[in-house]
Amino acid sequence: MMLDADIKAQLAQYLQLMEGDVLLKVSAGSDDVSRDMLALVDELAAMSSHIKVEKTSLERTPSFSVNRIGEDTGVTFAGIPLGHEFTSLVLALLQVSGRAPKVDQQVIDQIKNIKGEYHFESYISLSCHNCPDVVQALNVMSVLNPGISHTMIDGAAFKDEVESKEIMAVPTVFLNGEFFGSGRMTLEEILAKLGSGPDASELSNKDPFDVLVVGGGPSGASAAIYAARKGIRTGIVAERFGGQVMDTLGIENFISVKYTEGPKLVASLEEHVKEYGIDVMTPQRAKRLEKKDLIEVELENGAVLKSKAVIISTGARWRNLGVPGEAEFKNKGVAYCPHCDGPLFEGKHVAVIGGGNSGVEAAIDLAGIVKHVTVLEFMPELKADAVLQERLYSLPNVTVLKNVQTKEITGTDKVNGITYIDRATEEEHHIELQGVFVQIGLVPNTDWLRDTVECNRFGEIIVDKHGATSVPGVFAAGDCTDSAYKQIIISMGSGATAGLGAFDYLIRN
Ligand SMILES: Cc1cc2nc3c(=O)[nH]c(=O)nc-3n(C[C@H](O)[C@H](O)[C@H](O)COP(=O)(O)OP(=O)(O)OC[C@H]3O[C@@H](n4cnc5c(N)ncnc54)[C@H](O)[C@@H]3O)c2cc1C
Domains of the chain: 5-193 (3.40.30.80), 206-317+442-508 (3.50.50.60), 334-438 (3.50.50.60)
475 - beta bridge partners? 311, 468
Which residue of 445, 480, 483 sits with most ligand 1 atoms within 8 Å of its CB, as the best mutation to test the pocket?
445
**Is the torsion defined by CA of 211, 212, 216, 219 positive or negative?**
negative
CB of 370 within 8 A of CB of 342? yes
Residue located nearest, by CA, to atom 33 of ligand 1: 215
Predicted pLDDT at 3: 84
For every residue of 134-170, DSSP letters joined together read: HHHHHHHHHHH-TTEEEEEEETTT-HHHHHHTT--SS
Mean predicted confidence (pLDDT) in 114-143? 94
129 band by pLDDT with thresholds 50, 70 and 90: confident
Residue to probe by mutation, ligand 1, list 241, 246, 249, 488, most atoms within 8 Å of CB: 488
Phi and psi torsions of 178, nearest 5°: -105, 150
Contact between 143 and 95 under an 8 Å Cβ cutoff? The reply is yes
Residues 263/186, Cβ–Cβ less than 8 Å: no
Average pLDDT over residues 368-390: 96
Task: Mean pLDDT check: name the lowest of 91-95, 126-130, 289-293.
Answer: 126-130
**Across 128-151, average pLDDT:** 95
Average model confidence (pLDDT) across the chain: 94
CA-to-CA separations, 352 to 38, 40, 356, 357, in angstroms, rounded: 39, 37, 11, 12
pLDDT, tens digit, 9 for 90 and up, residues 250-285: 788 899 999 998 889 999 999 999 999 999 999 999
Q: What is the pLDDT of residue 169?
A: 87
Q: 218 CA distance to ligand 1 centroid (A)?
A: 7
Angle subtended by helix axes 218-228 and 488-508, to nearest 10: 40
Band (pLDDT 50/70/90 cuts) for residue 248 is confident
Looking at the predicted structure, is the pLDDT value of residue 184 above 90? no
pLDDT at 453 over 90: yes
Q: Looking at the predicted structure, is the pLDDT value of residue 249 above 80?
A: no
State the pLDDT at residue 61: 97
pTM of structure: 0.79
Distance (angstroms) between ligand 1 centre and the Cα of 245 equals 6
Rounded to an integer, the average pLDDT of 170-192 is 92
**Does pLDDT of 199 surpass 80?**
no
Section 455-461 average pLDDT: 96
At 426 the pLDDT is 97
Residue 496 has pLDDT above 80, yes or no: yes
Q: Which atom of ligand 1 is nearest to the CA of 242?
A: 49
Average pLDDT over residues 114-118: 95
d(CA 323, CA 404): 14
pLDDT tier, 225 (very low <50, low <70, confident <90, very high otherwise) = very high
Helix axes 5-15, 32-47, angle to 10 degrees: 50
Q: Tell me: pLDDT of 1 over 80.
A: no
Tell me which DSSP letter residue 199 carries: -
CA-CA-CA-CA torsion sign (279, 284, 286, 291): negative
- pLDDT at residue 359 tops 80: yes
Task: Return d(Cα 95, Cα 66) in angstroms, integer.
Answer: 10
Let me know: does 203 contact 284? Beta carbons within 8 Å: yes
Ligand 1 atom 5, closest CA: 248
* Cβ density class 117-139: b for 16+ within 10 Å, e for less: ebbbbbbbbbbbbbbbbbbbbbb
Q: Which residues line ligand 1 (CB under 6 A)?
A: 214-220, 237-241, 243-245, 247-248, 251, 253, 285-286, 313-316, 445, 448, 478-479, 486-489, 491
